[in-house]
Amino acid sequence: MIRRVSLILALSTVLLAVCGDIEKTAAQKVPTRSLKDLFKDDFLIGTAMNARQIEEKDSAGNGLIIRQFNAVTPENVMKAEIIHPGWDKYNFDLADKLVAFAERNNIKVNAHNLIWHSQLPPFVRNMKNTDSVRQYFENHITTLASRYDGKVYSWDVVNEALDEDGSLRKSIFLDKLGDDYVVEAFRLAQKAAPHTKLYYNDYNIEQPKKRAGAIALIKRIQAAGVRIDGIGIQGHWRADKVPMKDIEESIQAFSALGIDVMFTELDLGVLPNPWDHQTADVSQTAAGNEKMNPYANGLPDSVAQMQAKAYKDLFTLFLEYKKNVTRISFWGVNDGQSWLNNWPIPGRTNYPLLFDRDFKPKPAFYSVIATAKEK
Ligand code: XIL
């Protein structure tokens, strides 16, 4: 009897050692090996945090964030429509909670964002008067950047200012403030937040034409003697169409400007694209049908494997350029929490992240950590 018990004990020890990744908690299985530890000498590993997580109402999500990530970006709560809903009205509540959560858990905050044409409060969207826009622009940047200076690590100072052809996107800011508005945004942020890193963030800037526009924009900021510390390539790609060559060329081209390169909103969607172009423009939406939502009942293993390979290739590339790439942030914690379930088509079932709807690591998680182990 005693022998049998010790055999069982010995066997379970071996089994535990083999499954070293898995630590059982009452509610779920969580990998003990964490992304942030495995890549700690390479780059920060971040995630977007939604409002429930910021309020610490998603205990499994919050636990996973603390365990896996050392950088967070608020998915929505620091956007103008939420944090600055009226001319003299600011809602700092959730942003302050995010900062406190991050500080308590030794996590860096990338604040997102100061100037963006989307998710503006109605009082700004409807502004006709140039002086009012200028006043809003100055107040908004100065108030937020100074309040969080020394509390957040970095700001996305300007988000998505470029069009696909590399020219400046038509927006209320371009229209009322002219083409130096991006430089001015960085100048104001630099003054108000001397201890905070300042970034430009956009999607599709790995594409050659838009990349050229981003390079011109950065050079213009630098030529004005204004500080810009880095560029964020959002990274909302399709798992079967990751533009690896463009990404590599972009890392090289952007780092040649002397700034950090980051992948700031990474997710590799697996659902069909309603268009023949690739975009992350939140204002472009499409109607859906069953054909556009093929995996409503589960992710086929072949697709999960294809996605795992795409993530592996990407992280292999990121590691090759770890001197230049300073942060990789995923846009959401688990698949069920991803914005891609509702954009560009509402109500679909997408699987773009490393953790499934039960917070369990997917094949993509294991393929990503394998790149770190192979070093
Ligand atoms: C998205 C959020 O994930 C959604 O919750 C929100 O409804 C719309 O915005 N580029 C960005 C992000 O810079 O702020 C966007 O986030 C996704 C595209």
- The predicted model gives 176-198 an average pLDDT of 98
Half-sphere exposure of 69 (CA within 13 A, CB side): 30
Gyration radius of the chain over CA positions: 22
Pairwise CA distance, residues 345 & 351, whole Å: 14
DSSP, collapsed to helix, strand or coil, labels residue 40 as: coil
DSSP states along 66-105: HHH-SEEEESSTTSHHHH--BTTB---HHHHHHHHHHHHT
Q: Domains in the chain and their CATH numbers?
A: 42-373 (3.20.20.80)
Pairwise CA distance, residues 202 & 192, whole Å: 23
DSSP state of 35: H
DSSP, collapsed to helix, strand or coil, labels residue 325 as: strand
Q: Which atom of ligand 1 is nearest to the CA of 338?
A: 3
**Residue written as token pair 């905050």:** 109
**Residue written as token pair 């430009």:** 200
CA of 76 to the centre of ligand 1 (A): 7
Q: Which atom of ligand 1 is nearest to the CA of 339?
A: 3
Pairwise CA distance, residues 171 & 33, whole Å: 44
C-beta neighbour count of 161 within 10 angstroms = 24
C-beta neighbour count of 195 within 10 angstroms = 9
Q: Which amino acid belongs to residue 285?
A: T
DSSP state of 334: B
Q: How far apart are the first and last CA of the chain?
A: 46
Using the predicted structure, report yes or no on whether residue 56 has a pLDDT greater than 80. Answer: yes
Q: Which amino acid belongs to residue 322?
A: K
CA of 339 to the centre of ligand 1 (A): 7
Q: Is residue 162 a contact partner of residue 213, using CB atoms and an 8 Å limit?
A: yes
CA of 224 to the centre of ligand 1 (A): 30
pLDDT bracket for residue 33 (50, 70, 90)? confident
**Each residue's pLDDT tens digit, 87-114:** 999 999 999 999 999 999 999 999 999 9
CA of 42 to the centre of ligand 1 (A): 26
Pocket test for ligand 1, best of 339, 341, 353 (most atoms within 8 A of CB): 339
The catalytic residue among 75, 160, 184, 206 is 160
* Ligand 1 atom 12: residue of nearest CA: 75
DSSP, collapsed to helix, strand or coil, labels residue 288 as: coil
**Each residue's pLDDT tens digit, 224-275:** 999 999 999 999 999 999 999 999 999 999 999 999 999 999 999 999 999 9
Q: Which residues contact ligand 1 via a Cβ below 6 A?
A: 75-76, 159, 234, 265, 280, 282, 339
Average pLDDT of the residues of the chain? 93
DSSP states along 9-54: HHHHHHHHHHTTTEEE-SS-EEESS-HHHHTTTT-EEEEEE-HHHH
Which DSSP helix (H) or strand (E) runs through 111? strand 108-115
Is the backbone peptide bond immediately before 121 cis, with ω within 30 degrees of 0? Answer: no
- The predicted model gives 110-121 an average pLDDT of 98
Which DSSP helix (H) or strand (E) runs through 328? strand 325-330
CA of 75 to the centre of ligand 1 (A): 6
What's the 3-state SS for 262-323? Answer: EEEEEEEECCCCCCCCCCCCCCCCCCCCHHHCCCCCCCCHHHHHHHHHHHHHHHHHHHHCCC
pTM score of the predicted model: 0.92
Q: Which atom of ligand 1 is nearest to the CA of 203?
A: 10
- The predicted model gives 209-227 an average pLDDT of 98
Catalytic (active site) residue 75? no
pLDDT bracket for residue 29 (50, 70, 90)? low
> Dihedral of CA 187/190/192/197: which sign?
positive
Say if strands 230-233 and 236-238 run parallel, antiparallel, or are unpaired. Answer: unpaired
Catalytic (active site) residue 160? yes
Q: Is residue 231 a contact partner of residue 204, using CB atoms and an 8 Å limit?
A: no
Q: Which atom of ligand 1 is nearest to the CA of 332?
A: 3
CA of 188 to the centre of ligand 1 (A): 24
The catalytic residue among 265, 290, 320, 374 is 265
Please, what is the angle between helix 244-255 and helix 301-320, to 10°?
Answer: 20
Q: Which atom of ligand 1 is nearest to the CA of 112?
A: 14
* Ligand 1 atom 4: residue of nearest CA: 339
* Ligand 1 atom 16: residue of nearest CA: 75
DSSP, collapsed to helix, strand or coil, labels residue 241 as: coil
> Dihedral of CA 202/204/210/211: which sign?
positive
**Each residue's pLDDT tens digit, 130-167:** 999 999 999 999 999 999 999 999 999 999 999 999 99
* Ligand 1 atom 10: residue of nearest CA: 280
Half-sphere exposure of 293 (CA within 13 A, CB side): 17
